[in-house]
Amino acid sequence: MFKGVDVGGTFIKVLWEDGRREKHYIKDIKHDRGRLLTKITEVVREGNPSGVGLAVAGFTSAEGKVFRSPNIPSLDGVDMAGLFGDIPVAVGNDVTLGAYGEWFYDYRDSKVLVLVAVGTGLGGGLVVDGKPFLGAGGSAMEIGHHTIVEGGAFCSCGRKGCWEAYCSSYGLERIYRELGGEEATDREIAERASRGEEKALEAVKVFREHLLVGLSNVVHILNPDRIVLAGGVLEGLKALLGDLEGDLKERVEDLPARDLKLSFSRSGEFMGARGALAFILSKSSEYMS
Ligand SMILES: [Zn+2]
């Protein structure tokens, strides 16, 4: 049996082909490379799977090497594909594989699917004609770091004005502070906005405006027929964002607007593991055919 494994900053999540799910807490060992790799190897090998899809948060090459993982720095430089002996393992970026899972399980009719995940950071994934688009080396769709405000706010990557600097948990928190709101988490801001607090509502409005700027850029560059929104921050704000699809269509050219549909992911916190499972299932059928 196959399984998908998603290595994030707090948990390793596992989804088996028969629907079984597991969560392994790793936040306490994630800065200890030796213990972390031992744990990942154990989780991957456990149950003697026929093959494993492995999603990793960070810049991961198509061959399975982690170049840089801002969330899990102890994985920097690790060749993940070489760790597991004879078990076939296919490695990829968590959001890219998450996008593949969206296509594989929910949107097979989509020709160009874009996933935008907004949580601690902002990640993107792209599936074209049923294949995950990886770029030349595996790092395509780092759309969180495309500039939407020249010389704008600082981003976690060290650059200024990135989309993520506005549309992420820390981006929303900063916007709220700049409007005179007191220190609060993204969840607290969402909650205050739904209670009608003025500064929180204003912060959500500014966040939404930046979200639409980035999405318009994505639409004009890629002409997707499906944009899927995901991630904890967007989930938390969902009820406050209004008609995003309608407003996005009004901002872009008529032709890319014609085929565009926008929806929220239904896959929840196992999105990466589900995508990793879909990825290894499709790879293994490629090997067999
Ligand atoms: Zn950035």
- Span 199-243, pLDDT tens digits: 999 999 999 999 999 999 999 999 999 999 999 999 999 999 999
What's the pLDDT score for residue 252?
Answer: 98
What's the pLDDT score for residue 9?
Answer: 85
What's the pLDDT score for residue 284?
Answer: 86
From the first residue on, what is the mean pLDDT of each consecutive set of 10 residues in the chain (289 residues)? 94 97 95 96 96 93 88 92 91 96 98 96 96 92 96 94 97 98 96 97 98 98 98 96 98 97 95 97 77
Are residues 90 and 180 located together in one domain of the fold? no
* CB neighbour class for 106 (10 Å; exposed up to 12, middle 13-18, buried from 19): middle
Report yes or no on 89 lying in a domain: yes
Q: Smallest Cα–Cα separation from 91: which of 75, 103, 80, 77?
A: 80
- Using the mean position of ligand 1's atoms as its centre, give its distance from the Cα of residue 145 in Å: 4
Q: At what angle do helices 271-288 and 94-105 cross, to 10 degrees?
A: 70
- Using the mean position of ligand 1's atoms as its centre, give its distance from the Cα of residue 157 in Å: 4
**For the chain, how many structural domains are there in total?**
2
Cα–Cα separations (whole angstroms), residue 12 to 15, 88, 150, 216, 254: 10, 19, 37, 33, 42
What's the pLDDT score for residue 216?
Answer: 98
Distance in Å from the first CA to the final CA of the chain: 18
What's the pLDDT score for residue 287?
Answer: 62
Structure tokens, 81: 């594909």
Are residues 179 and 278 located together in one domain of the fold? no
- Using the mean position of ligand 1's atoms as its centre, give its distance from the Cα of residue 155 in Å: 5
- Using the mean position of ligand 1's atoms as its centre, give its distance from the Cα of residue 167 in Å: 11
- Using the mean position of ligand 1's atoms as its centre, give its distance from the Cα of residue 207 in Å: 16
Are residues 167 and 133 located together in one domain of the fold? yes
C-alpha to C-alpha distance for 20 and 41, rounded to whole angstroms: 19
- Using the mean position of ligand 1's atoms as its centre, give its distance from the Cα of residue 163 in Å: 7
- Using the mean position of ligand 1's atoms as its centre, give its distance from the Cα of residue 158 in Å: 6
Which CATH number characterizes residue 58's domain?
3.30.420.40
Q: Smallest Cα–Cα separation from 134: which of 174, 195, 93?
A: 93
What's the pLDDT score for residue 95?
Answer: 96
> Whole domain around residue 45: which residue ranges?
2-97+269-288
- Using the mean position of ligand 1's atoms as its centre, give its distance from the Cα of residue 16 in Å: 34
| pTM of the entire predicted model | 0.94
- Using the mean position of ligand 1's atoms as its centre, give its distance from the Cα of residue 211 in Å: 15
Report yes or no on 103 lying in a domain: no
Q: Tell me: the pLDDT tens digits for 123-143? A: 999 999 999 999 998 889 999
- Using the mean position of ligand 1's atoms as its centre, give its distance from the Cα of residue 121 in Å: 9
- Using the mean position of ligand 1's atoms as its centre, give its distance from the Cα of residue 25 in Å: 28
Report yes or no on 117 lying in a domain: yes
Are residues 92 and 148 located together in one domain of the fold? no
- Using the mean position of ligand 1's atoms as its centre, give its distance from the Cα of residue 288 in Å: 40
Structure tokens, 279: 């990825």
Are residues 177 and 245 located together in one domain of the fold? yes
Are residues 214 and 279 located together in one domain of the fold? no
Report yes or no on 104 lying in a domain: no
Q: Helix, strand, or coil here: 272?
A: helix
